[in-house]
């Protein structure tokens, strides 16, 4: 689960097991939805009641033309969701999902993180007559409090309505007692993060990296081009999933937000996301726009170019933040090859790498207005698909190793910071796994 970035310092993780959802015991009670007695500030709503408040208080969901969710019970929440989505989404029973994952067996575990666990399952017409036989991914959310339930509900509402070849397909959901689950199409290649950064992974070819960048860019362009733009807010390599042909699909819409409408220039919200990917103006002000997603996309472009993570505390200090480290190398072809992913072995297009570096530099501009829009990003990336000027065949590989923390490099970095070309982030919460 992505972190709250509004704090100056990350909180230490508690070792205590998250407590199940339980209303606070206070001196208030309700009878037939009418408050009888008590202190409202101390009365914690039920999850179902909170579902209604999301619709009431957050116009983002009302803009999607959904009727209010019930305030009465978990059962009514699922009934209201079923009413809105009809046969488009399946309302699974917990027993059904236990059966297809063999009671969430570790043998079927696909991954885990702050959000909970994901298990592989299989559905067919024997489970539901209208289901085609296919493998699925079942996400069992580890919900502790309102934020977890809110993210579950956001995923159901956004993915229940949005359909696109580069968005992961939500097949169904489950809301039973205190359990919240989501059922997606199975993505056999896993996440982009695993292919780029896991040591056991085979090097990803240049053409595949470009294909993934184009697919992810199309997904974001679709979201931003909706009648009311959708801001993804958590674009990163772990949320880009790959099918068997390495087609990229965006997943995890728990932090998605409806964008500004009319004369509004931004939406203001609590700062949530992942350290290293969040746009600086969003972290500093809470002002969120589609250009915030463009910044995150630029960070992922740099990861595709360099094979480095957005944040790596194990590296020398001047190399820990990828954006800060890479910027001086992006305007020169000679310098760029010093930070290209060595796993590529020179098997990349010289012009393609140069153009992507220039595009990434625009995307991570400190000024949001200088960042390109996603349709323009798609157009640039698609124009690079057929280039064959490989570095290794043009005498530009191997390249000299990138300077690490030498004196000249550090001076250059400091000079750029003083000139205002770099964003120096305050300590933020680390990224979650998954």
Could you give the CA distance from residue 384 to residue 129 in angstroms, rounded to a whole number?
45
Could you give the CA distance from residue 359 to residue 415 in angstroms, rounded to a whole number?
23
The encoded tokens of residue 13 equal 């993780």
Residues with Cβ within 8 Å of residue 418, at least 6 apart in sequence: none
The number of CA neighbours under 13 Å toward the Cβ of 211 is 12
User: Which residues carry a binding-site annotation for ATP?
Assistant: 139
Report which DSSP code applies to 270: -
Q: Find the angle CA(309)-CA(272)-CA(366) to the nearest 5 degrees.
A: 60
Q: Calculate the CA 219 to chain-centre distance.
A: 12
- State the CB neighbour count (10 A cutoff) for residue 359: 22
Quickly count helices (H) and strands (E) in the chain.
14, 17
Q: Does the annotation mark 389 as catalytic? A: no
- The residue from 234, 252, 293, 324 that is catalytic is 234
Residues with Cβ within 8 Å of residue 339, at least 6 apart in sequence: 305, 306, 308, 325, 326, 329, 402
- Please list the residues that pair with 35 across neighbouring strands: 30
Please say whether the beta carbons of 21 and 145 come within 8 A. Answer: yes
Rg (CA), the chain: 23
Could you give the CA distance from residue 316 to residue 302 in angstroms, rounded to a whole number?
18
Report which DSSP code applies to 406: -
Could you give the CA distance from residue 413 to residue 430 in angstroms, rounded to a whole number?
23
Alpha helices (H) along 225-349? 280-285, 290-306, 322-326, 333-336
Could you give the CA distance from residue 126 to residue 383 in angstroms, rounded to a whole number?
46
Residue found under tokens 């090097």: 203
Could you give the CA distance from residue 112 to residue 430 in angstroms, rounded to a whole number?
16
The dihedrals phi and psi of 385, each to the nearest 5 degrees, come to -70, -30
Strands 90-91 and 170-176 come out as parallel
Residues with Cβ within 8 Å of residue 270, at least 6 apart in sequence: 4, 6, 286
Residue found under tokens 């679709």: 222
Residues labelled as active-site residues = 234
């Amino acid at each position: 689960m992505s972190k709250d970035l509004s704090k100056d310092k990350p909180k230490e993780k508690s070792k205590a097991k998250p407590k199940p959802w339980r209303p606070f015991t206070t001196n208030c009670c309700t009878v037939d939805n009418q408050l009888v007695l008590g202190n409202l500030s101390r009365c914690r709503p039920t999850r179902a009641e909170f579902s209604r408040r999301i619709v009431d208080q957050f116009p983002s969901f009302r803009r999607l033309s959904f009727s209010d969710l019930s305030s009465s019970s978990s059962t009514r929440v699922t009934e209201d969701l079923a009413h809105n989505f009809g046969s488009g989404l399946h309302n699974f029973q917990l027993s059904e999902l236990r059966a297809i994952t063999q009671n969430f067996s570790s043998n079927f575990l696909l991954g885990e993180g702050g959000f909970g666990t994901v298990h592989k399952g299989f559905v067919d017409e024997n489970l539901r007559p209208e289901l085609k036989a296919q493998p699925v991914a079942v996400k069992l959310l580890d919900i502790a409090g309102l934020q977890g339930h809110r993210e579950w509900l956001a995923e159901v509402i956004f993915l229940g309505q949005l359909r696109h070849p580069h968005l992961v397909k939500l097949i169904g959901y489950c809301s039973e007692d205190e359990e919240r689950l989501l059922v997606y199409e199975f993505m056999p290649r896993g996440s982009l993060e695993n292919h780029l950064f896991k040591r056991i992974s085979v090097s990803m070819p240049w053409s595949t990296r470009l294909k993934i960048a184009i697919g992810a860019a199309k997904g974001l362009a679709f979201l931003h081009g909706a009648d009311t733009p959708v801001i993804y807010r958590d674009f990163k390599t772990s949320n880009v999933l790959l099918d068997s042909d390495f087609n990229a699909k965006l997943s995890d819409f728990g932090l998605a937000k409806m964008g500004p409408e009319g004369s509004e220039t931004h939406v203001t919200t609590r700062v949530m996301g992942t350290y290293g990917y969040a746009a600086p103006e969003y972290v500093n002000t809470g002002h969120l726009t589609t250009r915030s997603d463009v910044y995150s996309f630029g960070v992922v472009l740099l990861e595709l170019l360099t094979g480095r993570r957005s944040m790596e505390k194990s590296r020398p200090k001047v190399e820990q933040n990828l954006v800060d480290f890479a910027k001086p190398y992006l305007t020169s072809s000679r310098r760029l090859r010093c930070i290209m992913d060595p796993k590529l072995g020179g098997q990349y297009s010289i012009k393609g790498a140069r153009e992507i570096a220039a595009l990434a530099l625009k995307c991570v501009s400190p000024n949001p207005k200088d960042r390109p829009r996603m349709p323009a990003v798609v157009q640039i990336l698609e124009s690079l698909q057929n280039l064959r000027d490989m570095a290794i065949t043009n005498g530009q590989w191997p390249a000299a190793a990138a300077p690490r923390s030498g004196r000249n490099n550090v001076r250059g970095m400091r000079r750029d910071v003083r000139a205002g070309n770099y964003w120096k982030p305050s300590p933020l919460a680390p990224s979650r796994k998954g």
